[in-house]
Amino acid sequence: MTDAAAPAAQSWKVTLPCTRAEAEAIDGDIAAFAVMDSPPVLMTSEADEEQGLWRLDAYFEGRPSPAAIKLLKTLVPSAAGVKPLVEALPDEDWVTMSQQGLEPVTAGRFHVRNIAADPELPGHVNLLIEAGRAFGTGQHETTAGCLAMLDRMRRVGMHFRNVADIGTGTGLLAFAALNLWSRARAIASDIDPVAVEISADNARANGIGLGDGPGRLALVTAAGGNHPALAGRAPYDLLIANILAGPLIELAPSLCALVEDGGTIVLAGLLDTQADAVIAAYRAQGMRLAERADRGDWPTLRLRKRPSIGWKRPRRINPAARGEAPGFGSI
């Protein structure tokens, strides 16, 4: 997500033909673009069923650079000699447009639908996160990885009473935590006030009560872990952050400061090539890696806070850091 203080950028779409094999290999994965501040949303579709023609659409916030288009073309080698169609989009909800028709996602006990008309899956916790202006619908591997990790934690008997979801996007991971630990108090934050509004709407659609008490979800617009609403409810025994590697590293001191001794942090949004740097940043704050689960190029990390490190005594990686990471939100 972009910094909420910045004006909305013009949205652009880049279209390239591709083969069915290339489309299936992409499958919505944006690993190649993860280092970008605002990665594009990639969608593949069958352009002509009779002729077996497929296409790749990439939705960008802002006009894509030549380097971004060149990187996009590496995903579809069959289009090497084709000039991509690059077009500015009208002032519409382009994330919603790009997410129409997404298939439901099942991760652990959770089944996430993006369209209300899709049937629920019996025997699962069914959540509805309709395509909207914020990310975190469950389609991305990092979000699905977090859902699977939370489910596994509950299955092995872990219990939590005070939960924070940092960079919540659509509220999905906070909803999942409250479904698993129904008497917990939970708070979800995002730098983007639109994401917070959407999370509130999604909470109501999924029967999640809003408020401060047990089994309820509080929502706040916040750029990092030092916001009074987050600090005032600390220490947390479970903190979830599904954002990008850079903000995860920058926020390590402030996030770890919010977690109690023995508490758990679940991190995602990073590539496997970035995992060592993220783990090192959290180890410097007294965390230890308890579990790692990879879905393709995207790992989900579960860390525990060593009892010897008090929750109010973080060590900053950058002495000038303020505990904020402008411009991030849930993947």
DSSP 68-114: HHHHHHTT-GGGTTSPPEEEEPPSS-HHHHHHTTPPPEEETTEEEES
Domain with CATH 3.40.50.150 in the chain: 132-305
Predicted model pTM? 0.71
Find the helix packing angle between 193-205 and 172-180, rounded to 10°. 40
Report the half-sphere exposure of 137 (CA within 13 A, side-chain side): 23
Rounded Cα distance, 181 and 188, in Å: 15
Rounded Cα distance, 290 and 314, in Å: 20
Q: What's residue 21's pLDDT? A: 86
Please tell me whether 143 is known to bind a ligand. yes
Q: What's residue 41's pLDDT? A: 75
- Chosen CATH of 11-92 out of 2.30.30.140, 2.40.50.140, 3.30.70.260, 3.30.450.40: 3.30.70.260
Domain with CATH 3.30.70.260 in the chain: 11-92
Three-state SS for 198? helix
Q: How many CB atoms lie within 10 A of CB 169?
A: 29
Q: What's residue 28's pLDDT? A: 47
Q: 319 vs 125, 191, 253, CA distance in Å? A: 43, 22, 10
User: Which CATH homologous superfamily contains domain 132-305?
Assistant: Vaccinia Virus protein VP39 (3.40.50.150)
Please tell me whether 108 is known to bind a ligand. no
Burial per residue of 47-82, b for 16 or more beta-carbon CB atoms within 10 angstroms, e otherwise: eeeeeeebbbbbbbbeebeeebeebbbebbeebeee
Please tell me whether 93 is known to bind a ligand. no
Please tell me whether 212 is known to bind a ligand. no
pLDDT tens per residue across all 331 residues of the chain: 333 334 456 788 999 999 988 887 775 445 667 667 677 878 777 777 677 789 998 888 889 999 999 999 999 999 998 999 999 887 655 555 545 545 788 999 999 988 888 899 999 999 998 865 444 444 478 889 999 999 999 999 999 999 999 999 899 999 999 999 999 999 999 988 988 999 999 999 999 999 999 999 999 999 888 899 999 999 999 999 998 888 999 999 999 999 999 999 999 998 899 999 999 999 999 999 999 999 988 999 999 999 864 444 444 444 444 444 444 455 5
* Nearest CA-CA partner of 248 in 287, 290, 278: 278
Q: DSSP letter at 172?
A: H
